[in-house]
């Protein structure tokens, strides 16, 4: 690997930009210690030293710190490490450490997420957000089968909050209400059942 450029990040750290668009973030003292200079080769041996002596430990401390503030999935933590200039080897090491000590489990994360959000988000919205966080689609569907989202209850609560009187809603107003609920991710069937139920009561 060739050191293409060393770019300061702040007063203490710099980005070491290697060929093939590969970047490390190191403290200036570490750059001096490992003899890293622009235009020079970074040997595989030195790279492994940097991983073992610096980046593995730092990546582990970083993910533990991130988990203190909020629960996160593996993909979210990997993204944070990548944004912080950690190479894949360091991310793999940190994630494996978390798994070995049961600090992360995406399936358990999904269950907690569904439990927390099942009374305020539609099933479609929950599924979309969990997929975005890196959970497998089949895992999400299994969780939702075990912990179904009561969309009808949420829709009723939304309608009640709007203080809508069913007997005063015309076709156009009903259409607007259905569109608003659809934008919130609720299924057409659930919306129809609730609004139809409202109408059938009168």
CA distance 55 to 48: 10
Residue 19 has pLDDT above 80, yes or no: yes
Predicted TM-score (pTM) of the model is 0.77
Confidence check: pLDDT of 176 > 80:
yes
The model's confidence at residue 29, banded by pLDDT at 50, 70 and 90, is very high
**C-alpha Rg value of the chain to the nearest Å:** 25
pLDDT digits over 5-14, tens only? Answer: 999 999 999 9
Residue 172 pLDDT level (bands cut at 50, 70, 90): confident
Considering Cα of 104, then 107, then 112, then 114, what sign does the dihedral take? Answer: positive
Q: Which long-range contacts (CB under 8 A, 24 or more apart) does 74-80 make?
A: 74/104, 74/106, 74/134, 75/133, 75/134, 76/133, 76/134, 77/104
The pLDDT of residue 198 is above 90: no
- Answer for the pair 159, 194: CB distance below 8 angstroms, yes or no: yes
Per-residue confidence (pLDDT) for residue 132, from 0 to 100: 94
pLDDT per position as a tens digit, 118-170: 988 999 999 999 999 999 999 999 999 999 999 989 888 888 887 776 556 67
Is residue 32 predicted with pLDDT exceeding 90? yes
Q: Can you tell me the distance from the alpha carbon of 6 to that of 23, in angstroms, rounded to the nearest whole number?
A: 10
Kindly report, residue by residue over 56-111, the tens digit of the pLDDT.
999 999 999 999 988 999 999 999 999 999 999 999 999 999 999 999 999 999 99
Which tokens go with 147? 């912990």
Q: Which residue has the higher pLDDT, 64 or 201?
A: 64
pLDDT of residue 200: 44
């Amino acid at each position: 690997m060739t050191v293409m450029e060393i770019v300061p990040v702040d007063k203490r750290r710099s980005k070491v930009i290697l060929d093939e668009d590969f970047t490390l973030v190191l403290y200036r003292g570490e750059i001096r210690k490992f003899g890293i200079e622009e235009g020079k080769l970074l040997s595989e041996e030195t790279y492994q030293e940097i991983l073992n002596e610096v980046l593995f430990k730092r990546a582990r401390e970083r993910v533990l710190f991130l988990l203190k503030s909020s629960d996160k999935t593996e993909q979210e933590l990997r993204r944070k490490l990548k944004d912080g200039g950690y190479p894949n080897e360091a991310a793999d090491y940190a994630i494996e450490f978390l798994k070995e000590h049961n600090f992360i489990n995406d399936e358990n994360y999904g269950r907690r997420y569904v439990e927390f959000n099942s009374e305020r988000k539609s099933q479609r919205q929950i599924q979309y957000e969990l997929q975005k966080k890196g959970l497998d689609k089949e895992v999400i569907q299994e969780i939702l089968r075990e912990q179904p989202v009561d969309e009808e209850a949420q829709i009723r609560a939304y309608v009640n909050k709007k203080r809508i009187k069913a007997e005063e809603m015309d076709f156009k107003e009903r259409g607007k209400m259905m569109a608003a609920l659809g934008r919130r991710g609720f299924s057409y069937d659930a919306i129809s059942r609730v609004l139809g139920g409202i109408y059938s009561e009168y």
